[in-house]
Structure 1
Amino acid sequence: MTPRLRAGLFVLSAQVVLASVEASAAEPAPKPFVVKVHTALVSGTPVASEAWLASQWDSVRSLLGPAGLAFEPSLAPAPKQPIPRSLETRADRDLLRAFAVPKVLNVFVVEALRDVDEPERQRMGVHWRAGGIHYVIVATYAVPGGAPCPPQYRCSEHSGLLTHELGHFFGLGHDPRADNVMSYSRAGRALWFSEPQKSR
């Protein structure tokens, strides 16, 4: 390779790199989903601490950010009537639609959430549809720091709970592979989404 050709290739390579950097810089940031977080109260105190909420949103951002999703969460205004702290029936879940803020993503945080199909069980979270809208409900016993966690749920392994339920919100079903965000199976590895899941 002649010195002139080598110099020409260097200049071309530099131009390609510069163009790539400029294109990346020009790409607009994804428009964030506006999220309103509705938290139930116990004796005037939210069932979810700031640390609990922060840990859940850290997981959401780290796992859904690479898929091009961004979120702008904030606490919903205090309602005139209190949000139920424990949801026992389908009707209880349906009642939350009255608290939902229109045209945003609504997340409800409660102390306990009963399985409506198997009433002897408690659930950690659910994606719920009622009255033509849908929203996410999560229970604070899902990670350490909330209400006492049913031991069979191994709650310390489910810091990705909110991410899992948001996956349902965006149309993802369950996945059988261990440590996939949409799986019930945990083997102790880092949580992950597959490339097809990210592209949905």
Structure 2
Amino acid sequence: MCICLLNPTEAIGGAKSRPKPQRKPKPKPKVDPVDKTPPGQNININQMAGTWYLLNTATKCSALLKHGYKIEPTVLTLSPSGEKLSVITKTRQNHQCWEISQIYHLTSTPGRLLLKGPSPNLDTTIVIGATDYTSYAVMLYQRRGEITVKLFSRSVDNLAESMLLKFEELLKKQGLGLGHIASFPTYSHCGEVDQDHKINCVPTC
């Protein structure tokens, strides 16, 4: 007696082999870019008070990188007061000196601040990533998931190699490299400011 199987998968009882169902991998928890660089240990916000000169900015913002040749000398004055940090930025726009007033709100995490926008999705998180208070500070700004890293100095004449190395170290944590850096001029800072140009604003990229 001869039995012929027309299909090799047809076995006794008609059973067919099937692949085992695969479990979907668990999604990785979302990590905000700013959380990759936590604040420096035991940041004392009162020691951040005073004048800071902006030296370098690192960002993936195409507008800044494309028009980096137009950037102007920029200086910040920080004044802590209770649960707030008053920030006065002096810079040039259209050949005139502007003074930009902002309020950073302290959070429960020392060294982590919040600049409130017109709506919650436009809030900016600021992290003081590293500082020695007397010569340099590296600060990170995040809005809508986009990160900007800035290097500040107490003096335009004190550009230590260690400051730049610390800046570059924090850049790597954010996936930024030397090609994302825009350097700011360290001369011709604004002195007196036309009072008509005092404004409140939130930073762009």
Q: Select the structure that is richer in strand.
A: 2
Q: Select the structure that is richer in helix.
A: 1
Give me the TM-score of the superposition, normalised by structure 1. 0.25
Q: Which structure is larger by alpha-carbon Rg, 1 or 2?
A: 2
Give me the TM-score of the superposition, normalised by structure 2. 0.25
Q: Larger relative contact order (C-alpha < 8 A, sep ≥ 6)?
A: 2
